[in-house]
Structure 1
Amino acid sequence: MAASNTPQYTVPGLTTAEGEEVIGLLRLRLHALNDLALTLKHVHWNVVGPHFIAVHEMLDPQVEAVRGMVDALAERIATLGGSPTGTPGALVNERTWDDYAIGRAQAIEHLGALDVVYSGIIKDHREAVAATDATDPVTQDLLIEHLRSLELFQWFVRAHLESAGGKLSTSREDRETEAGRAAAEQARDQP
């Protein structure tokens, strides 16, 4: 039986309609973070090249932190009276983004693509923060806590993509594969 977004109860101070709205927001955030954890692990397994070990080892703590975020979101959904769904089928059926498009590739290509991935996650998390401002400050606080780490992780990625002059190789790209190519081109062009 599929999980329902319509709670029979919710936390004190919220109506069930408000609880349902927040659950809907969190459901997509749950899918996005589950997808991010899988994508980070995919990159961890498929990164190659001279910066392999640095990127390989940088990603595992990010995976663990994102998995913790997933658990916190699922527990918040349950607290609000909803039923969290973490199955692959639900994620694929309900997501609004494409699957990660890069397989085995140079570290710089994956980092360029991950910059785009993180930008999308952070943008959508910020929208959920804004959407919960008036109704649910507890959920908003949880999402802000996630943003602190997500933005830090993106900075770790971007440190590899920035030129000495401060130019971010992926600044004009909004698709993973193009961002990966742009990052690789800038790396080739640097002395």
Structure 2
Amino acid sequence: MTVTHNVDFRAGQNAKDYTVPGLEVSTGHKIAEQLQKQLHDLNELHLTLKHAHWNVEGPNFIGVHEMLDPQIELVRGYADEIAERIVALGVAAVGVPGAIVKNRNHEDYALGFASTIDHLSALDDVYTRVIESYRESIAMTGEVDPISEDILIGHTAELEKFQWFMRAHLER
């Protein structure tokens, strides 16, 4: 028997009547909803990176395989940092798989066993999507919440560096 739970985690149903000092409650909750996009992206990214780590093959296998693990760990830490900021802003952080799938507008990572070049090319596209989303959130938070903005800027700098690592492998 399969049981499904369709829990709606929007801020209105899963929010406290507080946020961080210096912000209006409605503003803090709006920022939390924006940060939820990054949480979904980060949770999906760390799973996708691990998937590629397991399934990469061919020349440069070991270099790519070993390059991905530190990225995975850092991305998992970023997810935790974003989730904690969401909760500090007074909104429940949503980390369930169904919410990731429900709230995305892109397809699953399509590669299984594939060459290092194919995986790195596909991961380059994933990183571009995640970084573009981060930059949108930086623009939104920067006007009202420099703390969230600072967290996002720090993550973006490292995500861009990871993307550069992959792109360096793609150069011929």
**TM-score in same-fold range (> 0.5):** yes
Identical-pair percentage: 53
Q: Distance in 1 between matches of 2:104 and 2:81?
A: 19
2:102 counterpart (88, 93, 107): 93
Q: Distance in 1 between matches of 2:57 and 2:171?
A: 20
- Report deviation, 1:16: 1.4
Superposition pairs of residues 105-184 of structure 1, within 5 angstroms: 105-163=114-172
TM score, norm. by length of structure 1: 0.83
Structure 2 equivalent of residue 66 of structure 1: 75
Structure 2 equivalent of residue 5 of structure 1: 11
Asked if residue 49 in structure 1 is aligned to residue 58 in structure 2, the reply is yes
> Would you identify which runs of 4 or more consecutive aligned residues in structure 1 move more than 6 Å?
none
Q: Distance in 1 between matches of 2:42 and 2:111?
A: 18
Q: Distance in 2 between matches of 1:116 and 1:147?
A: 15
Q: Distance in 1 between matches of 2:11 and 2:122?
A: 32
Q: Distance in 1 between matches of 2:107 and 2:33?
A: 20
Asked if residue 17 in structure 1 is aligned to residue 23 in structure 2, the reply is no
Q: Distance in 2 between matches of 1:127 and 1:4?
A: 20
Deviation digits for residues 60-102 of structure 1 (CA, Å, limit 9, x no counterpart): 0000000000000000000000100101011111122211111
- SS of the residue corresponding to residue 51 of structure 2 reads helix
2:128 maps to a residue whose letter is: S
Higher relative contact order (CA 8 A, sep 6+): 2
Deviation digits for residues 122-147 of structure 1 (CA, Å, limit 9, x no counterpart): 11101100011111100000000101
2:89 counterpart (69, 80, 87): 80
Which structure 1 residue ranges, 5 or more long, are not aligned? 164-191
Matched length: 163
Deviation digits for residues 103-133 of structure 1 (CA, Å, limit 9, x no counterpart): 1100110001111111111111011000111
Structure 1 equivalent of residue 3 of structure 2: none
Q: Distance in 2 between matches of 1:97 and 1:28?
A: 13
Structure 1 equivalent of residue 4 of structure 2: none
- Report deviation, 1:3: 3.0
TM score, norm. by length of structure 2: 0.91
Q: Distance in 1 between matches of 2:42 and 2:65?
A: 19
Which structure 2 residue ranges, 5 or more long, are not aligned? 1-6
* Superposed CA RMSD: 1.0
